[in-house]
Each structure stands twice: as structure tokens, then as C-alpha cells.
Amino acid sequence: MESRYGYEVPAEDVELTHVELGSPMGELMRRYWQPVCVSDELTDLPLKVRILCEDLVLFRDGTGRIGCLDPHCAHRGTSLEYGRIEAEGIRCCYHGWLYDTEGKCIDMPCEQPGYAERMDVRLPGYPVHEFGGLVFIYMGPPAKQPVFPIYDILDTRDRDDVVLRGMRMWDDSSIGFVRDCNWLQHFENVVDPWHLVVLHQQVGLGRFEGALLHGERPDISFERTSLGVRYRLVSNLPNGNLLERYAECVLPNIFLVSNIHETGERPKNKDRCSEVSWAVPVDDEHVRAFTIAAWPARDGIPEPDWRPRTDTTSPEGAPLNRASPSARRGERTFTERQRFPDDMEAQESQRPIAVHALENLTLADNGIVMLRRLLHQSIDRMRQGKDPMNIVRDPAKNTAIETNAWNTVIAPPLTDVGE
């Protein structure tokens, strides 16, 4: 036995985990459009958000334009989260300075007319892009701003069978809601399919409805894709069919998890993942996630809730103890959480920031190794002045960018019954 006496915990991998302004990963994340809220959350009240260790205030003015500004009024610092939204912008509650969505102060009611124009006060902020029911901001160097990437799932120009729907991926009503840990713990969980077998089937709540975990021990491998890393899982199902499944991490923080509710009953070829999700660092020790789903629709009208999703599922879509009356985060007792741990318990307890130097990675962790390596390489590219992976600049090439996550179900070949 090794004594723990004098045992010291090494530092975390700062390059991959810290996200404040000027940190390597913080700067990498800032090179991409990041989701900050759902469009419907911009109401008649301002919305304060925290992302990449920065506090910001978002609002939609009376004409529909969205502003994303430093929260502190340029006059004497009162937070605009207490401001009043008007037709032309947001007005500070303290002395009434009015800011438009670009951050320009356009009215100072305590001063003489024309004073605001002469002062030319501007509050810093970030560009905003609304897409698919989510609000995105770009926090990087202005000269490096990319176009918003249109992945195949999001390219619905020629489709009338789906509408795009933006949502927070989980909320407090989900016990699978992972929140209080570093973003990378949550992101790399997507290419950790073995935890589905253990945590979600053998140990934890184990409420998978689909065929994924009801076959034999699956064969799992990991592959580099055009956008990042994916796993390939092949499982012989009890009904004799074969399930081939892929889930993908798209650098730096997008993930695609194909339908976990696949029953495996009917053969199908490349049933593509219908959602694009983002694991967004709030700060170094907190994460939140957003999703745009290609939601089934009829004549442009979204179908009613067509499967358990936002408030009952984990990142992999595992239904979370829906039978339990105490399934909300924070409502389960510690003993319940010990008896039936889920993603939240597994990931948050890796420490607020997991310490890679203490890990003993195995072949089962190969997807995680590949992902971390690619993230380091992307940071290196950025340092060399090049665009990191998956930056899109050419609008002409920004259509239906191919993603790499789907389920395929193969029926066994018909056997020859003889003459």
C-alpha cells in the first residue's frame, strides 16, 4: 500500500481547461460563435449571462434587434440587468442613460439636449447572431470573426418536414444536468461510450429505452473525422439485428449524439443525428449546454413533443429515472445519488477541474486521448496565426457541412432454407 502521507495533487491541464480571456482554450473558444441563450428568453426584461468567465447583458430592443453589452453602465457602473428595455435600446435604471444595441449611448436625460452626442460614450459588447432559436455571440478578435457554420442538420432550406428549434439542453428538472464542473469533462463524455454500458446500465438509473445496451457487449472503436472525433459502436441485438452507431465531437465544443432511443427493430441506413449541441464553458468550473434540433414538423408546424428530451435526458439522451417522483436535480437525497449515480455525479465528482496528470488512461479512453490531442493541435494552429479547425470563412462553402453521427440497423441475411 502506498501511503497518502505527503500526497500532492498536481495542477490541472491549464491549456485545455481554463477559459478566461487570454488563456489558450479561452482564446480558442472565442474564435467561434457560441450560444448564450434561447431566443425566447429575451423578453421585456434584460438577461444577464456568464460565459467564458465574462458577465454580459443581453436584450432585444423594441425593433427586434439584439444587443450584448458589458453589464456595467458607462456612467457610474450600475448593472443594466436592472435596466428598462425601450424601442431604441436599454435604459440604465439609475440616471437613465440609454444605449442602443451597438453600445452607443444615445440619451442622457439629466443633461442638456445634444450632450449625449457630444460625449460619444460607448459601452463595449459583442456581435450577435440569431439562428435556429438560439442567440449566439462572437467574443474573439473582430478581424477573425468567422461565418456561422451551417452543418447538414441545420441546412433546412429544402425541407418542409422539420423546423429548427433551439433549447437549453437540460435544466434543473433533469438529474442528468451536469453543471458544476469544467467544460471538458462534459464534452469528452460524448466520446466515452463505455460509460453508457457501466454508468447508465449496470450501476446508475439504467433506463435506456432503446436497443443500444440490450445486446451483447458492444465492439467500440474511435475514429478521426473531418470535424473532430467520433466513436463507432457495433452491437449484436437480441432480435438478431446489428446496430452500428456513431456519435461525434466537433471541435472545439460541438457534439452530435444520434438517437439513443433506436429500438433496432427495423433495418435503416444512416439514421442521422438530428441535433447539434454546444458544451459552453460558463467559467473554469461550470458548463451549460444548448441544442438546435431539426424538429419534425407538418406544414411548418412543429409536431408536439415527439420524444423525451430536454428535461428528462442526459447528453446521450438517456431517460433519467422518469418513474421516480424525486428526479429533479437537487431533490434527490445524497443516498439516492449514491445508490443511483448518473452523469452529474460521475462528471462533477471528477473534481471541479479534472486532473489529467493523475489519470490512468486505457484503450477504452482512446476517443478522449484523440480529442485532447486535436484540441492541443487547434490551439497550436491558432498560436501560429492560422485558423483553428472548423472555422468557416467562405459563405459559398457554408452549406450542409457534413457531420458524422448516425445509427444504422442491419438485418441478418436471409438464410437459405434448402430445397
The residues binding ligand FES (CB under 6 A) are 73, 75-78, 92, 94-97
Per rule CB under 5 A, is residue 262 in the interface with Fe ion? no
Task: List the x/- string, 317-346, binding to Fe ion by CB under 5 A.
Answer: --------------------------x---
CA dihedral 225, 226, 228, 233 (to 10 degrees): -20
Can you point out the beta strands (E) in 123-224?
128-131, 134-137, 162-168, 219-224
Based on CB atoms, which residue is closest to Fe ion, 92 or 212?
212
Shorter beta-carbon distance to ligand FES: residue 68 or 237: 68
> 63 exposed, middle or buried (CB, 10 Å; 0-12, 13-18, 19+)?
exposed
- Location of C-alpha cell 427586434: 64
Q: Cα–Cα distance between 419 and 417 in angstroms, integer? A: 7
Which residues in 342-371 contact Fe ion (CB under 5 A)? 343
φ/ψ of 129, rounded to 5, equals -140, 125
- 267 binding partner (options Fe ion, ligand FES, none; Cβ < 5 to 8 Å by kind): none
Looking up cell 443500444 gives 212
Instruction: Please give the Cα distance from 211 to 238 (Å, whole number).
Output: 9
* β strands within 143-285, DSSP E: 162-168, 219-224, 228-236, 242-250, 254-257, 268-272, 275-283
Distance CA 348, CA 181 (A): 5
Task: Enumerate residues 146-175 that contact Fe ion by CB under 5 A.
Answer: none
Min dist CB 9 to ligand FES, Å, is 44
Work out how close the CB of 98 gets to ligand FES at its nearest, in angstroms, rounded to a whole number. Answer: 9
Closest CB 34 distance from Fe ion, rounded Å: 23
Q: Shortest distance, CB of residue 77 to ligand FES, whole angstroms? A: 6
Q: Which is nearer to ligand FES, 37 or 116 (CB)?
A: 116
Task: Give percent helix, percent strand, percent coil of the chain, each to the nearest 5.
Answer: 20, 30, 50
Q: Between 27 and 81, whose beta carbon lies closer to ligand FES?
A: 81
Q: Which is nearer to ligand FES, 71 or 252 (CB)?
A: 71
Helices (H), 109-162: 115-119
Task: Tally the residues of the chain.
Answer: 419
Q: Which of ligand FES, Fe ion, none lies near 78, with the C-beta cut-off 5 to 8 A by kind?
A: ligand FES
Single out the residue of 54, 262, 275, 316 in contact with Fe ion (rule: CB under 5 A): 316
283, 185 contact by CB (below 8 A): no
Determine if 188 is a binding residue for Fe ion (CB under 5 A). no
Instruction: Closer to ligand FES by CB, 97 or 246: give it.
Output: 97
Picked from ligand FES, Fe ion, none, the partner binding residue 343 (CB below 5 to 8 A depending on kind) is Fe ion
Q: Which does 148 bind (CB under 5 to 8 A by kind): Fe ion, ligand FES, none?
A: none
Question: Which of ligand FES, Fe ion, none is residue 322 near (CB under 5 to 8 Å by kind)?
Answer: none
CB of residue 188 vs Fe ion: minimum separation in angstroms?
12
Compute, in degrees rounded to 10, the torsion defined by CA atoms 214, 220, 225, 228: 80
Q: How far apart are CA 119 and CA 113, in angstroms?
A: 12
Whole-number Cα distances in Å, 378 to 16, 21, 29: 11, 17, 11
The CA distance from 296 to 313, in Å, is: 19
CB of 189 to Fe ion, least distance (A): 6
Contacted by 316, from Fe ion, ligand FES, none: CB < 5 to 8 Å by type:
Fe ion
Longest dimension (CA), the chain: 101
Q: How far is the CB of 60 from ligand FES (least distance, A)?
A: 20
Per CB under 5 A, does 404 bind Fe ion? Answer: no
Residue reference for cell 478578435: 141
Task: Return the residue nearest Fe ion (CB atom).
Answer: 343
* Interaction of residue 291 with Fe ion, rule CB under 5 A: no
Q: How far is the CB of 62 from ligand FES (least distance, A)?
A: 19
What type of residue sits at position 65? R
The distance of closest approach from Cβ of residue 200 to Fe ion in the complex, given in angstroms and rounded to an integer, is 6
192 part of the interface to Fe ion, by CB under 5 A: no
91 or 332, CB closer to ligand FES? Answer: 91
How far apart are alpha carbons 139 and 26 in whole angstroms?
10
Binding residues (CB under 5 A) for Fe ion: these are 314, 316, 343
